[in-house]
Structure 1
Amino acid sequence: MPVPFEYKRASADFEQFMLDARDISFLATTHQTYTMVQGVFQAFRRRLDVRDALLFANVLPPVLRALFVADWNLDEPHRPFEDRAVMTREVQSLRPDHNLAPASSIRDVAAALRKNIDQAELDRVLARLPAGAREYWQAD
């Protein structure tokens, strides 16, 4: 079997996602964008059990999938979906001295993600996840 196309293009696809997320959020660099994306992913996965998180991860391209599950502390307390402002402050609390995630960070990452993956597949998976998951990934 040949190497799947998504793995052959993983780096290029990740770079395009990061550029889109940077531009949408009006950040200056992809380094700043990385912390924002990591914070958005971590805040989301804290609200899912492992099974649901892996369902979500499977719709992500390879590098984003790896970022989503990297350094996951499975003993961390499960959190409920809350007001977006509360979850945004959680995103911004990751490396706070170096985090420039804007108040729109969750929406911005959602917009970049939707631009770079199969939206229909994402929506099918989100429909299977707990209440609040679909709203978390709304880009409008």
Structure 2
Amino acid sequence: MPIPMELQHASDDFERFLADARDGSGLATRNQTYTMVEGVLRTFRRRLMPQQALAFADVLPPILRAIFVSRWDLAEPVLPFADRATLTREVQALRQHHNFAPGSCLTDVARALRRQVDKEPFDRVLATLPEGAAAFWHA
């Protein structure tokens, strides 16, 4: 079986995603953008049971999938979805002295991500997740 195209082009696709998220958020560098993206993915993951998180990961592009499951503490309690201001502060708390995520970070990352994923499976998975999951990725 040949290597799947999504794996063959994973780095290029990730660079396009980072550039899109960077431009949408007004951040200056890839490193700033990476921290914002990681914060958004971790914030979302904290609100899912492992089975739900893995189902969500399956609809992500390969590198974002890896970031989403990286450094996952399965003993961490699952949190409820909260208002966007609370979720944004949680994103901004990741490496807070090196985090430049703007107040629009959830929307900025959601817009960039929605341009990268297959929309039908993405929305289908979101519909199976707890209340608040679809709103989290609203762009």
TM interval, shorter chain, is: over 0.9
Q: Which residue of 2 aligns with 1:70?
A: 70
Aligned to 1:56: 56
1:56 Cα shift? Answer: 0.4
How many pairs align?
A: 139
- In 2, Cα distance between equivalents of 1:99 and 1:39: 9
For structure 1, the residue ranges without an aligned partner over 5 or more in a row are none
TM-superposed CA distance for 1:115, in Å, is 1.0
Structure 2 CA distance, aligned partners of 1:90 and 1:79?
Answer: 12
Following TM superposition, by how much is the alpha carbon of 1:67 offset from its aligned partner in structure 2, in angstroms?
0.3
The residue that corresponds to 1:45 in the other structure is 45
Question: Once superposed, what is the RMSD of the aligned Cα atoms?
Answer: 0.5
2: CA distance between counterparts of 1:19 and 1:109? 11
Match of 2:12, as an amino acid? A
Cα offset for 1:55? 0.6
Q: Work out the CA distance in 1 between the residues paired with 2:26 and 2:116.
A: 18
The equivalent of 2:126 in structure 1 is 126
State the TM-score, normalizing by the size of structure 1.
0.98
Q: Distance in 1 between matches of 2:78 and 2:56?
A: 16
The separation in 1 between residues aligned to 2:130 and 2:29, in whole angstroms, is 33
Residue 84 of structure 1 deviates from its aligned partner by 0.5
Give the structure-2-normalised TM-score.
0.99
Supply the distance in 1 between the matched residues of 2:119 and 2:86 (Cα, whole angstroms).
26
Aligned to 1:93: 93
Overall identity of the aligned pairs, in %: 60
- Runs of 4+ in structure 1 deviating by more than 4 angstroms, as ranges, are none
SS at match of 2:56: helix
